[in-house]
Amino acid sequence: MKRKNRVLVTGADGFIGSHLVEYLIKEGYTVKAFCIYNSLGSWGWLDSLPPALQAELEVVLGDIRDPLCVREAMLGCDQVFHLAALIAIPYSYVAPASYIDTNIHGTLNVVQAARDLGVQRVVHTSTSETYGTAQFVPITEDHPLVGQSPYAASKIGADQIALSYWRSFETPVAVLRPFNTYGPRQSARAVIPTIISQIAAGQRQIRLGSLSPTRDFNYVADTCAAFLALAASDAALGQVVNASSQFEISIGDTAALIAEVMNAEVEIVTDEQRLRPEASEVNRLFGDNTRLRELTGWQPAYGSQEGLRRGLQRTAEWFIDPANLARYRPGAYAV
């Protein structure tokens, strides 16, 4: 297979990043994976990829907060998919300064290196959390930005840094704003793997936070397809683009659907430590994906309740594998 562009994926060791790396390789791209430095030499979730895919990778260990690391990793790359970030909302209450350093300064390092090196395209990763609780639905890209957590505020800042480089220097940046991505390999700090891992471990009292908020869940394959679609769209330069299923469901109804998919009868128990501060809870997320569809022709393969069911089935199948479940601590609260 003739290889396409050489691309850099920052945050390649994480949940979405590892799926994106896998997706890019299968689509024929030459991939350089930027992973957080650690003394074990771990590639994070990339360690779980089949050896044949790992052999296709060039892996660089570094730190997104270090401009020299970022620049060296970007040398020779045509496109950059910037996913490296701290993303856990509860931990942003504990260590907010680290979110500024990683998410804002890290993004500055990426767009500055891209500007200096003449990179053809940077796709920067945002989050639907930047909107806060929906003021109108479905949420379009024109919705006000409301930082209801230090995490959300740091991502608003990161998005604006990325867009400022398009406006100031014509650095070719597009911003993808995924709604709630889920799938295999996701951290148990997120609600869907929290529920699935507890059921898979045999627990029938499922500990959760608030059940009433709604979310617009996107299966990870749809999010990966959105990244590639946006990278190929010149019309998306300088724009923020939602990637959403355009379907909302409450956390409580999501838990019930997961239990149904996994053939389990469960009781939901409120765990106080999983509740966000009242003014920090995002009560409704329901996105409009019209702009992405019109710019690129992208369509979610897992949209609607039927699509969510299929995505949950695939996710549960991964989690019930004992080798995968062993990576988690079901029932323990992951900040």
pTM for the whole thing?
A: 0.96
Q: How far is CA 47 from CA 6, 242, 285, in A?
A: 21, 30, 33
Task: Tell me the pLDDT tens digit for each residue of 204-245.
Answer: 888 887 888 999 999 999 999 999 999 999 999 999 999 999
> Using omega within 30 degrees of 0 as the cis cutoff, is the peptide bond preceding 300 cis?
no
Going along the chain from its start, the domains and CATH numbers come out as: 6-186+218-247+283-303 (3.40.50.720)
Look at residue 3 in the predicted model and tell me its pLDDT: 63
Q: How far is CA 39 from CA 36, 61, 62, 141, 236, in A?
A: 10, 10, 11, 41, 39
Instruction: Give me Rg for the CA atoms of the chain.
Output: 19
Residue 201 DSSP SS3: coil
Average pLDDT score over residue span 94-100:
98
pLDDT more than 90, % of the chain: 88
Look at residue 206 in the predicted model and tell me its pLDDT: 85
Length of the chain in terms of residues written: 335
Look at residue 283 in the predicted model and tell me its pLDDT: 95
| Residues with a known catalytic role | 151
DSSP per residue, 65-123: T-HHHHHHHHTT-SEEEE------HHHHHH-HHHHIIIIIIHHHHHHHHHHHHT-SEEE
